[in-house]
Structure 1
């Protein structure tokens, strides 16, 4: 009987230890489950904020892209205008030179004519 009572006492202690262990595991499980829920919620918040920031950055980049495209268009337009002005100025200078040359030719013709007339007399 003493062996049986020792064995009974051993088994009771073993059951108590296993119950304590099961309770500790259950508490750990509850703690980790709660921590997991909090972490998942925080991750969801971070993902939401990240998505919002991404959308804001995308919108700002689109705005900047349009701004720079407009700036480039203005630069091209101003450059074309300058080229037109230079072309006009060259054409104008060419026409002035033609007129000067024509006047020079006319005056030399007039001088030639006067010389011719003075020899005839």
Structure 2
């Protein structure tokens, strides 16, 4: 009888830990998503200073759309600044696929796909 009670207690503790982890993961995902929304707002405003406040410049790595990666924020900075400077107005920015994976309480990975339309300062329209 005590063997069954022990198994039930272990299962109950495991279930309790799983529920707590799920709750913590949801909170972390919510925090990451809120930060991402703030990053998107900075992009829409074409505010590079506000945009770069969302990154840890010492630990930054990023994946480019063509599969290459940036190993330093210094590789991304000129692309963002020159891109923002070339845009007159963002007319449409939609994220069709945003996925957040929680690694642990201190690490999350967010990947996304987007469609963007803009008016360039030279007067033409562009869609990415």
TM-score over 0.5 for the pair:
no
| Bigger Rg over Cα | 1
- Larger strand percent: 2
Q: Which has the higher contact order (CA 8 A, sep 6+)?
A: 2
Provide the TM-score with structure 1 as the length reference: 0.41
